[in-house]
Amino acid sequence: MDGNGRWAEARGLPRAAGHRAGVDALRRVVDACPEFGIEHLTVYSFSTENWARPTAEINALFDLLRLFVNRDLRRLHEAGVRIRILGSRTGLSDDILELIDKSTTLTAQNNRFHLNIAFNYGGRTELVTAFQALARRVEAGELSADEIDETTISQAIWSAGTPDPDLIIRTSGEFRLSNFLLWSSAYSELVFPDAWWPDFDRDHLAAALASYQARTRRFGGLQK
Ligand code: FPP
């Protein structure tokens, strides 16, 4: 969800206003997904690298998670949305951890739509954490080194249980993954719309999906 800061600066607003508008865009996109048959959505809302930002901006992003959970959790739960927050718990305050646990537990049985919020997330940290967990199981004699394969790694990462993304959309015209879903993006299709995230709407989503549909996915094989 890139471009919140530039959206705000272009309007002479503080960056936090861009992030607030970003939450509105997130609501719009979540609401539009069922129309297109999308069942899983993972959004990148705070990266492990975002700790390098000024404290005031970090606090604004944490406040938005609080606001989002407090305002939207009940409505999303009633709509059958399962919420998972993917990321490290290290460095997060107790009240944020409680909100994460509350959203996850309340919606755990829902299956109409899966919303994953990558928060305090980094793809490399996700892999390090998974490999450490697997190494501990090897040390404990529960697993042999040879049993570590793509399936065991997929089951050990934070996004375990979520299908690999078919499509990754990065807004604001930057052509990078920036440490997002490094393991599961192996064969994802990528689109990079020019729009800043707060302007992203149903029509941008439709255009990204049309671009996706026009592609041939070979997964390393030959075209059928
Ligand atoms: C990137 O824009 C965006 C982020 C770092 C945060 C995205 C967060 C939200 C949309 C709101 C949070 C939502 C929840 C549910 C917690 P940028 O700040 O890097 O923009 P810039 O590249 O234009 O400066």
Instruction: List, chain by chain if needed, residues with CB within 6 Å of any ligand 1 atom.
Output: 1-6, 19, 22-23, 26, 45, 50, 61, 64-65, 68, 117, 172, 197
Q: What mean pLDDT, rounded, does the chain reach?
A: 97
- Say whether pLDDT at 222 is over 90: no
| List of domains in the chain | 4-213 (3.40.1180.10)
Short-list 76, 8, 16, 74, CA closest to 41: 76
DSSP H/E element including 40: strand 40-47
- Say whether pLDDT at 74 is over 90: yes
Sign of CA dihedral 180, 14, 83, 208: negative
What is the mean pLDDT of the segment spanning 56-78?
Answer: 95
> How does pLDDT run across 121-170, given as a tens digit for each residue?
999 999 999 999 999 999 999 999 999 999 999 999 999 999 999 999 99
Do the beta carbons of residue 180 and residue 124 sit within 8 Å? no
Strand-by-strand arrangement of the 113-121 sheet: 40-47, 113-121, 81-86
Q: Which of 31, 50, 120, 149 is catalytic?
A: 50
**Residue 2 bears catalytic tag:** yes
Q: Quick one: which atom of ligand 1 is closest to the CA of 68?
A: 15
Q: The pTM is what?
A: 0.95
Do the beta carbons of residue 197 and residue 3 sit within 8 Å? yes
> How does pLDDT run across 164-216, given as a tens digit for each residue?
999 999 999 999 999 999 999 999 999 999 999 999 999 999 999 999 999 99
pLDDT confidence tier of residue 16, bands split at 50, 70 and 90: very high
What per-residue confidence (pLDDT) applies to 223?
A: 74
Q: Quick one: which atom of ligand 1 is closest to the CA of 50?
A: 5
Alpha carbon nearest to ligand 1 atom 1, residue: 2
**Residue 101 bears catalytic tag:** no
What is the mean pLDDT of the segment spanning 22-33?
Answer: 97
Alpha carbon nearest to ligand 1 atom 18, residue: 5
Pull the structure tokens for residue 17.
């206003």
Do the beta carbons of residue 189 and residue 215 sit within 8 Å? yes
Pull the structure tokens for residue 206.
């439709």
- Say whether pLDDT at 224 is over 70: no
